[in-house]
């Protein structure tokens, strides 16, 4: 099954580039910039990766990303992720980044965006894949800062496909960001938001009604609310789910309890993604395989997840048709009816 999951052409739609910072690059960049870290070896780093919830993870994530200082750091981080993604059969990747986590400590926005952009362009050429960049606002910081970040980022409008919303969810309902998201939409940017990860189903509804998002990142808690599930299906709003992340952060107590399969069977556009793969024990294929084993997914379910990933992607229709044809050709070669 792992070979099948790897060979299957897929899009990854929910990955934080800062969450792909592997232990060796973390240590190397710390040494390069003369920064001291509480770890000496990659094994020390990984031993520290035990989380009880989203807050305990975010504390470490924000501390570690401080080794990212200049444009070349962001370029290398991005290139390393795309190499791993390509190995996993990812044909199209939509990458999140958290600008405020860098600008708040004095790294210029241009170094962040241009560094990631160079990595994306280089990786596209090396691996023959397509990419998009999505800028996320931190919901646990004030809205004025998000407004200023958007204004500054519009100087790089052509490099951005969309905006998102992430960081600590509970106590930070999405509605506060309605104005920023309205401006982003007026600029022609796509809009997505983390909702229903540690927050309730109500935050998913609020993100749909007030931010007018076109995709929900996570959306696990939406499964608690039958009326919302019916709406997500009716309005064809995709969910970018992240099974290994949800187990590591206690969003579900065991993978067997993850609602992914139930929502997929209910006809929602469910996708599988890796979130912060350096922290949660696996890239995209690991997430596919773990979900397959815990939830008893069949090959045709994996094909459906792959088709959904391209249906939900920010692609133009011709690119989308091309990728869907790749999935269908792969399924046909393996004798899976879709
Ligand atoms: N930032 C990085 N990973 C995140 C997650 N899983 N939830 C919210 N914000 C994040
Ligand atoms: Zn996420």
Is residue 186 within 8 A of residue 219, CB to CB? The reply is no
Q: For ligand 1, atom 10, name the residue with the nearest CA.
A: 167
The set of protein residues with a Cβ atom below 6 angstroms from ligand 1 is 16, 19, 54, 61, 166-167, 194, 197, 245, 275-276
Higher pLDDT, 337 or 114: 114
**Sequence-separated (6 or more) residues with CB below 8 Å from residue 169:** 54, 139, 194, 195, 197, 198, 199, 203
Give the pLDDT mean for 204-232. Answer: 98
Q: Which ligand is nearest to the CA of 280?
A: 1
pLDDT band at 338; cut points 50, 70, 90: confident
Is residue 68 within 8 A of residue 30, CB to CB? The reply is no
What is the model's pLDDT at position 187? 98
- Pocket test of ligand 1: the residue of 166, 246, 249 to mutate, having most ligand atoms within 8 Å of its CB, is 166
pLDDT band at 31; cut points 50, 70, 90: very high
Residue 275, beta-bridge partner list: 15
At 61-118, the pLDDT tens digits run 999 999 999 999 999 999 999 999 999 999 999 999 999 999 999 999 999 999 999 9
Known catalytic residues are: 197
Q: Record the tokens describing residue 92, joined without a space.
A: 């199209």
The CATH number fitting domain 2-333, selected from 3.30.930.10, 3.40.50.1000, 3.55.40.20, 3.20.20.140: 3.20.20.140
Is residue 78 within 8 A of residue 115, CB to CB? The reply is yes
What backbone phi and psi angles, to 5 degrees, belong to 155?
Answer: -65, -20
DSSP single-letter state for residue 275: B
- Please give the distance, rounded to the nearest whole angstrom, from the Cα atom of residue 286 to the centre of ligand 1: 19
Neighbours of ion ligand 2 (CB under 5 A): 275
**Sequence-separated (6 or more) residues with CB below 8 Å from residue 315:** 92, 130, 323
What average pLDDT does the chain have? 97
At 246-288, the pLDDT tens digits run 999 999 999 999 999 999 999 999 999 999 999 999 999 999 9
First to last CA, the chain: 17
Is residue 74 within 8 A of residue 112, CB to CB? The reply is yes
Report the distance separating Cα 62 and Cα 235, nearest Å. 35
Q: For ligand 1, atom 6, name the residue with the nearest CA.
A: 275
Report the distance separating Cα 251 and Cα 219, nearest Å. 11
What is the model's pLDDT at position 1? 82
DSSP string computed for 284-311:
HHHHHHHHHHHHT--HHHHHHHHHHHHH
Q: Record the tokens describing residue 227, joined without a space.
A: 């009326």
Across the beta sheet with 270-272, what order do the strands follow?
Answer: 10-16, 90-97, 130-138, 162-166, 190-195, 215-218, 239-241, 270-272
Report the distance separating Cα 86 and Cα 54, nearest Å. 28
Ligand 1 atom closest to 197 (CA): 7
DSSP single-letter state for residue 207: I
pTM of the model: 0.98
Is residue 326 within 8 A of residue 32, CB to CB? The reply is no
Give the residue from 8, 93, 103 showing the smallest Cα distance to 65: 103
Is residue 297 within 8 A of residue 260, CB to CB? The reply is no
């Amino acid at each position: 099954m792992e070979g099948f999951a790897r060979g299957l052409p897929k899009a990854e739609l929910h990955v934080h580039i800062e969450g792909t910072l592997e232990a060796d690059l973390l240590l190397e960049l710390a040494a390069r910039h003369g920064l001291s870290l509480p770890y000496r070896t990659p094994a020390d780093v990984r031993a520290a990766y035990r989380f009880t919830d989203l807050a305990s993870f975010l504390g470490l994530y924000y501390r570690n990303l401080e080794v990212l200082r200049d444009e070349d750091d962001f370029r290398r981080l991005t290139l390393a992720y795309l190499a791993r993604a390509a190995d996993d059969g990812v044909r199209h990747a939509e990458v999140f980044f958290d600008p405020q986590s860098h600008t708040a400590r004095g790294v210029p926005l241009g170094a962040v965006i241009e560094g990631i952009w160079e990595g994306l362009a280089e990786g596209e050429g090396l691996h023959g894949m397509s990419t998009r960049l999505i800028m996320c606002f931190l919901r646990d910081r004030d809205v004025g800062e998000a407004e200023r970040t958007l204004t500054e980022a519009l100087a790089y409008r052509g490099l951005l496909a969309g905006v998102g919303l992430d960081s600590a969810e509970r106590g930070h309902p999405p509605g506060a960001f309605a104005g920023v998201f309205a401006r982003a939409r007026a600029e022609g940017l796509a809009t997505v938001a983390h909702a229903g990860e540690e927050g309730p189903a109500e935050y998913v509804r609020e993100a749909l009604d007030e931010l007018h998002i076109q995709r929900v990142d996570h959306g696990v808690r939406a499964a608690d609310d039958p009326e919302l599930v019916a709406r997500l299906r009716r309005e064809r709003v995709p969910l970018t789910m992240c099974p290994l992340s949800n187990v590591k952060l206690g969003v579900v107590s065991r993978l067997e309890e993850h609602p992914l399969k139930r929502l997929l069977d209910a006809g929602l556009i469910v996708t599988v993604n890796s979130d912060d793969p350096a922290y949660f024990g696996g890239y995209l294929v690991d997430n596919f395989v773990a979900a397959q084993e815990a939830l008893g997914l069949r090959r045709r379910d994996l094909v459906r997840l792959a088709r959904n990933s391209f249906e939900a992607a920010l692609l133009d229709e011709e690119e989308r048709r091309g990728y869907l044809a790749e999935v269908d050709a792969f399924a046909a070669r393996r004798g899976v009816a879709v």
